[in-house]
């Protein structure tokens, strides 16, 4: 008797097509973002709030069957604090007041909340994700009651696996582009584990162990696709990339122009020298 594929395998299969589109989009934007330190910082900022939200959910519902396994390794997989360190390096100490998430990022966070939870907020404080300021985190009282916590699992799976897998390559590109000092600028890719591969397997095991029926599985696979759609919208929302592309093109046009001018100047002088009559004859 054949055993059905694991849930994480089905998530991967369901998102194969849109994952390919996402990879191309990310690679295109990343090439441009790596031209400028602040632009790359703003790219990181886009996903910072998503990781904050996911980690808040895991901590709030650590005893729920959907998150108990992931909560056991939350110290190993959590990214929000590490991304915050990188944002300080790329955008400055006041990044959380100077920069705001794009509309696509806000929509992403709202979607995760509205689809999977009901939020009750103390009237004394602004809602956590509408303040978008880290210093308010300790002052905000948020009581989250998930309607179906299991539906958040695809976001946890895809977002943390992306950091563990694709993050290795991106880390090398960032390091080569900005050469940050030791311990700075690359924290979002730093996992305090002996093996990223082993941690990936642990994440998969935790998610595959979550009990679910056939109807829930269909919803999980649908949310997997939605996760990539929302990610793509966030990536597309990074503004300023067009200006950097134009600057890049102009820069290389100037460089190529200087090379051609130097070549033609040298060639012209060399050609004129060859044409001059030789007034010295050997006897």
Kindly report, residue by residue over 163-179, the tens digit of the pLDDT.
Answer: 999 888 999 999 999 99
| Shared domain check, 247 and 225 | no
What's the predicted TM-score (pTM) here? 0.75
> Quick check: helix, strand or coil at residue 277?
coil
Its domain, for residue 251, covers 242-277
pLDDT confidence bin for 262, thresholds 50/70/90: low
Q: How many residues does the chain have?
A: 283
Tell me, what's the pLDDT at 239?
74
CA pair distance 115, 51, nearest whole angstrom: 17
Phi-psi category of 18—alpha, beta or left, where left has phi over 0 and alpha has psi -120 to 50? alpha
- Binding site per annotation, positions: 12, 19, 157
**CATH code, domain carrying 85:** 1.20.910.10
Between vectors from CA 104 to CA 99 and to CA 107, what angle results, nearest 5°?
Answer: 110
| Shared domain check, 38 and 63 | yes
Percent of the chain at pLDDT exceeding 90: 52
Identify whether 140 is part of a domain: yes
| Shared domain check, 53 and 193 | yes
> Structural domain tally of the chain?
2
- Binding site per annotation, positions for heme b: 12, 19, 157
| Shared domain check, 80 and 218 | yes
Between vectors from CA 189 to CA 109 and to CA 184, what angle results, nearest 5°?
Answer: 105
HSE-CB at 45 with a 13 A cutoff on CA atoms is 30
Distances (CA, A) of 33 to 41, 135, 143, 248: 8, 27, 37, 11
Identify whether 125 is part of a domain: no
| Shared domain check, 249 and 232 | no
| Shared domain check, 213 and 234 | yes
Identify whether 129 is part of a domain: no
pLDDT digits (tens, 9 = 90+) for 29-81: 888 899 999 999 999 998 999 999 899 989 988 999 999 999 999 999 999 99
């Amino acid at each position: 008797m054949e055993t059905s594929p694991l849930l994480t395998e089905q998530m991967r299969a369901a998102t194969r097509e849109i994952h390919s589109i996402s990879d191309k989009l990310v690679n295109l934007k990343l090439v441009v973002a790596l031209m400028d330190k602040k632009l790359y910082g703003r790219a990181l900022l886009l996903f910072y709030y998503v990781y904050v939200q996911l980690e808040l959910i895991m901590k709030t519902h650590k005893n729920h069957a959907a998150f108990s396994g992931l909560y056991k390794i939350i110290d190993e997989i959590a990214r929000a604090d590490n991304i915050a360190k990188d944002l300080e390096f790329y955008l400055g100490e006041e990044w959380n007041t100077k920069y705001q998430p794009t509309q696509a990022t806000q929509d992403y966070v709202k979607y995760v909340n509205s689809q999977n939870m009901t939020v009750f907020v103390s009237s004394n404080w602004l809602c956590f994700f509408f303040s978008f300021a880290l210093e308010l985190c300790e002052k905000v009282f948020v009581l989250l009651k998930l309607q179906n916590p299991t539906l958040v699992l695809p976001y946890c799976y895809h977002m943390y696996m992306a950091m563990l897998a694709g993050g290795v390559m991106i880390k090398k590109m960032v390091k080569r582009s900005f050469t940050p000092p030791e311990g700075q600028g690359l924290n979002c890719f730093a996992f305090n584990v002996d093996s990223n591969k082993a941690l990936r397997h642990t994440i998969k095991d935790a998610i595959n162990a979550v009990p679910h029926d056939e109807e829930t599985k269909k919803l999980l696979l649908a949310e997997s696709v939605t996760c990539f759609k929302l990610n793509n919208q966030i990536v597309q929302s990074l503004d300023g990339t067009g200006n950097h592309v134009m600057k890049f093109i102009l820069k290389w046009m100037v460089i190529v122009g200087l090379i051609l001018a130097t070549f033609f100047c040298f060639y012209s002088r060399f050609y004129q020298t060859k044409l001059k009559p030789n007034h010295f004859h050997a006897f």
